[in-house]
Structure 1
């Protein structure tokens, strides 16, 4: 029997497994689904030869997260491709806000709001490692970079208050910022949404939102290969139903939502802790629609054809209205749609001349509705003729997502509502959010700090606690991973 068992092979579970294996421990990873990777899987969902990312598609943290900077994806064979435009926000009338990797070019394109965009982001871009350190922490220790923390906090307070429109004079810049805030699937003026916008916006100008050649599966495969090189293994198609399945393991790390911990160990958990997990809130959801296209999306606005990611909803006011509808449990008539077009940089995703196109729309928790027609209408609003390119489509409604990833309760791809309380105290208000009351049992999923995203940090933090508390190993997990070499970008 292995020293350590990891349940769940998403990015956090694999990150934890790699850290623990680097420390010299024997590690086994158990995955309920038939393929490993969790939120970073890639599959042929539509037609043969069309490779679609099942959940995560673009990766701002693949270059920036401390785990991946130390692991160094490029050194493990992952080719990270950076579009010239990190993200775009099309608007009616054939215009768009464009967040180029080059901050100066972005500023030049935003007209009278360009200087305001520079004042908002330039100080954060200059100190981007400190911004990442703040955002990727365990939310329990004071950051070293106090000046950057203050700058970040003041910007959060501004954009999370009634003053959020005072900085800008036109339409594109506030829409551009709101588009990234809405990643949090919560009204974009909420503080957690604003924090996400400032982090992601900073990274857009500090390396870009990269796309792995061949699909997000490449990230998972690199970690699996390293784990196997160290003697570990991944067992797929094995759903864990009880902690008693691993009586000899000294530590069990669960890359699962709290609901899965309750299912696996509910009779053994202290009632107070179990009650807290039952109160854990799951938030708004996604309906995921993937398209096989006969050609590139015919965007009206210049520059959208060079963007890896697009936020398709219209103005800042329209984005707010759409997210308020979802928060109230309703489907927005014109939903927020996040779209990724990997073919901008990666010609391996589809047969020659054809394209994969990734979209999801925000919908209420547990929604059973197929909103693909609403998504097609929103895309066609800014790219007339889009419908004519569709060769095939594949739909996961919010209600269907948990069958493919149990962490997405009710279709909540954030593995927990992104409200202010749960941003700081997920999954429970404890000093150590990773350690459960059961000896040797830890949570390491996106339901723990720092929250959702393909960054590996929840897994790394949890692994660090397990090493110290169960094995007496005090080595910094980053030191175990190696030096802080940055991943290569093309």
Structure 2
């Protein structure tokens, strides 16, 4: 490829980078993607991390946004051959004494399982489930446009404020429902009393009832491969094992989109950036981190509580108070004695991940940013707490501490897998407060990573929003980029 025959270059092949590339290619532009790693996908990859025959998701494993995100609704993963299977229970939250809260796809069934707290659960979620598409469109926006149906946004905002206030203590009478909701809110890797963490929790819990929390057959890599195959079909090209250390190394292009962290942008652009922008990026706030362990097991996890064996995802921390204590400790820079552990057992719907009769278990614990501590022992303790006999099943394990996460993905600064600290202001204003957070103050350069709105998760919308601005500003192409994606799909 010469230095003059490409319209756009995308650095990074995570879901946002590939989504941006697909928008550009759908607009009829020539696109080239450069990826530092030997395989594409960023946080959406699947590899044999323990022993041959056991396939583990490197980072993301469960994908409600693969159905719900506006980008994936336009792209249609199923139409591209990706099989998303729904666990019978979307997520479970075991408690001591062999009890557990179970979030079924069916909202009514979930409410029935919560006994006296079921009506309150239904009152919270029924309006959100009924308007889930508008809700998702709002939270997946660039936060700079008026919601299509503001009433649904108001409903969510009121519930977030209530959940983040002392009112949450009055809503439920027993301990299962509060724990069930706290476990989802902790996905934000932030203190549970925060507005942002409660927003994350309510949206994810809504999606469990509205679209489910599916697991891709064959692993998260299948999502990446489908996007890459379609990009190539549309004329785009991808080069792997090609780290970029400076913008000067890139082919000349009219648009450059960077699926990188603010630290990565500083590394690539350096002194070419205006001083004010460089200083702002240098103070960008990264969030708490994850220490991840992948297990190869000789059989299914022996959960004590009925129904946990049906769940794709499990939140292992105990009561809501324990979850709040653990997340507060990590946010203050301390390791929790009993950390919050997020676990996924893909084998409940996908028997291709391990040899017959065997299983894989994906798990991570929240730790302070930059932590070098191996907390795999505490992770195993938390699993064993709710599944006695678990340790006897372990055939092999693979640990990656927070300070080594960047070896798998350069964007995970200090082990922050969310692209930045999770707070209401930081989600809206990332990487810094500007009307156009995607435009870098260099001609033709745009940021499209999870360090731009709407932030973390596998949804592709950071890439869509950045690409929309790129095709308008650099090529004069207007209109809805998702219509371009949908019109050229298939």
Q: TM-score range by the shorter chain?
A: over 0.9
Q: Any residues of structure 2 matched to 1:77-476 within 5 Å, and which? A: 77-246=81-250, 248-476=252-480
The whole-number CA distance in structure 2 between the counterparts of 1:53 and 1:169 is: 38
The whole-number CA distance in structure 1 between the counterparts of 2:476 and 2:342 is: 44
Quick one: which of 70, 79, 86 aligns to 1:66? 70
Task: Give the gaps of 5 or more residues in structure 1.
Answer: none
Structure 1 residue 245: Cα displacement: 2.0
The whole-number CA distance in structure 2 between the counterparts of 1:378 and 1:399 is: 22
Structure 1 residue 248: Cα displacement: 2.0
8 Å contact 2:439–2:447 — kept in the other structure?
A: yes
TM-score, normalised on structure 2? Answer: 0.98
Structure 1 residue 202: Cα displacement: 0.5
Kindly report structure 1 stretches of 4+ aligned residues shifted beyond 3 Å: none
After superposition, give the CA deviation of every residue in 1:182-221 in whole Å (9 maximum; x if it has no partner): 0011111100001101110110001200100000000000
After superposition, give the CA deviation of every residue in 1:334-390 in whole Å (9 maximum; x if it has no partner): 000000000000010000000010000000110001111000000000000000000
The whole-number CA distance in structure 2 between the counterparts of 1:86 and 1:19 is: 31
8 Å contact 1:91–1:314 — kept in the other structure?
A: yes
Structure 1 residue 482: Cα displacement: 1.4
Structure 1 residue 319: Cα displacement: 0.2
Structure 1 residue 403: Cα displacement: 1.3
Q: Secondary structure at the match of 1:296?
A: coil
The whole-number CA distance in structure 1 between the counterparts of 2:210 and 2:382 is: 30
Structure 1 residue 484: Cα displacement: 12
Q: Secondary structure at the match of 2:141?
A: coil
8 Å contact 2:26–2:488 — kept in the other structure?
A: no
TM-score, normalised on structure 1? Answer: 0.98
Structure 1 residue 483: Cα displacement: 6.0
The whole-number CA distance in structure 1 between the counterparts of 2:470 and 2:323 is: 42
The whole-number CA distance in structure 2 between the counterparts of 1:234 and 1:94 is: 50
Structure 1 residue 475: Cα displacement: 2.7
- In the other structure, the counterpart of 1:3 is 7
The whole-number CA distance in structure 2 between the counterparts of 1:88 and 1:288 is: 19
The whole-number CA distance in structure 2 between the counterparts of 1:456 and 1:365 is: 25
Quick one: which of 20, 26, 50 aligns to 1:22? 26
8 Å contact 1:69–1:484 — kept in the other structure?
A: no
8 Å contact 1:70–1:484 — kept in the other structure?
A: no
Q: RMSD over aligned Cα, in angstroms?
A: 1.2
**Residues 1:38 and 2:42 aligned together:** yes
The whole-number CA distance in structure 2 between the counterparts of 1:230 and 1:241 is: 28
After superposition, give the CA deviation of every residue in 1:438-464 in whole Å (9 maximum; x if it has no partner): 111000000000000000000011111
The whole-number CA distance in structure 2 between the counterparts of 1:23 and 1:247 is: 20
8 Å contact 1:313–1:336 — kept in the other structure?
A: yes
8 Å contact 1:3–1:26 — kept in the other structure?
A: yes
The whole-number CA distance in structure 1 between the counterparts of 2:221 and 2:479 is: 29
The whole-number CA distance in structure 2 between the counterparts of 1:16 and 1:194 is: 29
Quick one: which of 8, 16, 29 aligns to 1:12? 16
After superposition, give the CA deviation of every residue in 1:63-122 in whole Å (9 maximum; x if it has no partner): 000000000000111000011111000000000000000101000000000000000000
Q: Secondary structure at the match of 2:171?
A: coil
After superposition, give the CA deviation of every residue in 1:395-420 in whole Å (9 maximum; x if it has no partner): 01000001110110000000100022
Distance change >3 Å, CA 228–CA 247, structure 1 → 2? closer
The whole-number CA distance in structure 1 between the counterparts of 2:86 and 2:453 is: 27
Q: Secondary structure at the match of 2:38?
A: coil
The whole-number CA distance in structure 1 between the counterparts of 2:147 and 2:287 is: 28
Task: Give the gaps of 5 or more residues in structure 2.
Answer: none
